[in-house]
Amino acid sequence: METTERVEHRTSRRSFLVKGAAVGGGTVAAGRLLSDASPAFASGGLTKGDAAILRFLAAAELIETDLWRQYNELAGIQDSEVPGGSGNPAYTEAVAVLDEDMAQYIHDNTDDEISHARFINAYLRAHGAQTVNLDKFRTLPSSKATGAQQIGRLTNLMQLTVNTSFWTRYRSDSLNPDFGDTLPQAIPDLATGQHPAIPRTDADLAPPDHLQSIANTAGFHFAWVEQGGTSLYAALAQRVTHSEVLRILLSIGGSEIMHFQTWQDKAGNAPPLTDPTTGLTFPDLNADGELTQTNLIMPEPTIFLNRKFPIVSIIRPTQTKGAAMGTVKAFTGDGLFIGQSKKFFAVLTRLARAADAARHGS
Ligand SMILES: [Fe+2]
Ligand SMILES: [Fe+2]
């Protein structure tokens, strides 16, 4: 039996995104979908905790989608899968210095985020749970550079402060933020001040090293975004109740890991330079030993759980306590929400607190 809702999902995921999901409880359609759901849910809906975790993840995925769409409009591939924008040739070329396939990867990462947000909201709806729609917060300005759509955005990619400690975190064999350790920055300049990761106007397209520094910033930001998703899914998975919800978190989380792995490989190709306009410096990461060496992209074994155990190659951090609020703080610290309303922060904080209150079994 096919509901109208299912037909819509299969044939037009873009219209779903444009319309967004209505914030509201289950409907008759949701009840009918339940009969198609897995046996785990045959007798009822999601636990309160599972719904809260999925809702926070839906919000995080909508935020990821918004920022990736901006990258795709300017430096990706604009097509029916990821529509919007018309490309900025000079910026696209500067991003391609990191890898000639960058446009394809940007497109595919964007497509993946669209699918993550859409799936999680559809799953919530199918179980009669409230979904997440952030459309009313799409108020931030677009880049004025050639190629960008002029529409309201959830995120700001023009004033970023990128924490590049993830780079050394995955190369250290003795430190782990879950033990309270602080890892050094790979690109110290990116971790302070405010830097555009996309051209703000066509004035940013020259001189060449200024544009390349914007493209390099994007390269490290791509990896930063996806290392965050990598940790977030692993952290929240520890507190879900139903095995099917665990399956969702492990399966989507794994795709975040694949993104991160790709991007940290590409970021290592960012040419060392100093931006003649801003002074932002990308140092030679291969000049200073293993903690920044670019080809060490496999997670170096490090301490995990207890120092009495041998070091092990793992995702880190994965500490679950406060993981959702930690993500909101990280997004905020990154500058992604500069210009957002108090109401936006209130909604996001409420979703994060509810997710962090979730416990396995409740
Ligand atoms: Fe995602
Ligand atoms: Fe992601």
Examine residue 362 and state whether it is found in any structural domain, yes or no.
no
If you search the block for the tokens 């901006």, which residue do you land on?
A: 70
Contact 218, 160 (CB under 8 A): no
Q: How many whole angstroms from 109 Cα to the centroid of ligand 2?
A: 7
What pLDDT is stored for residue 134 in this prediction?
A: 98
Q: How confident is the model at residue 45 (pLDDT cuts 50, 70, 90)?
A: confident
- The residue range of the domain holding 352 is 4-357
Q: How many whole angstroms from 61 Cα to the centroid of ligand 1?
A: 5
Q: How many whole angstroms from 125 Cα to the centroid of ligand 2?
A: 22
Q: How many whole angstroms from 14 Cα to the centroid of ligand 1?
A: 16
- For 330, the token pair is 């990280």
Which among 220, 334, 213, 210 has a CA at the least distance from the CA of 267? 220
Look at the chain and report how many structural domains it folds into.
1
Q: How confident is the model at residue 53 (pLDDT cuts 50, 70, 90)?
A: very high
pLDDT higher than threshold 80 for residue 13 = no
Mean pLDDT in residue range 106-124:
98
Q: How many whole angstroms from 154 Cα to the centroid of ligand 2?
A: 16
Q: How confident is the model at residue 44 (pLDDT cuts 50, 70, 90)?
A: low
* Average pLDDT score over the chain: 91
What pLDDT is stored for residue 19 in this prediction?
A: 37
Q: How many whole angstroms from 302 Cα to the centroid of ligand 1?
A: 26
Q: How many whole angstroms from 22 Cα to the centroid of ligand 1?
A: 21
- For 192, the token pair is 């302070």
What pLDDT is stored for residue 81 in this prediction?
A: 97
Q: How many whole angstroms from 259 Cα to the centroid of ligand 2?
A: 7
Number of Cβ within a 10 Å radius of residue 24: 10
Give pLDDT tens digits for 237-249.
Answer: 999 999 999 999 9
pLDDT higher than threshold 60 for residue 57 = yes
The ligand placed nearest to the CA atom of residue 249 is: 1
Q: How many whole angstroms from 113 Cα to the centroid of ligand 2?
A: 6
Q: How many whole angstroms from 198 Cα to the centroid of ligand 1?
A: 20
Strand partners for 195: 160
What pLDDT is stored for residue 18 in this prediction?
A: 37
- For 225, the token pair is 């975004």
Q: What percent of the residues of the chain are helix, what percent strand, and what percent coil, each to the nearest 5?
A: 50, 5, 45
Q: How many whole angstroms from 32 Cα to the centroid of ligand 2?
A: 31
Q: How many whole angstroms from 310 Cα to the centroid of ligand 2?
A: 30
Which among 304, 249, 340 has a CA at the least distance from the CA of 67? 340
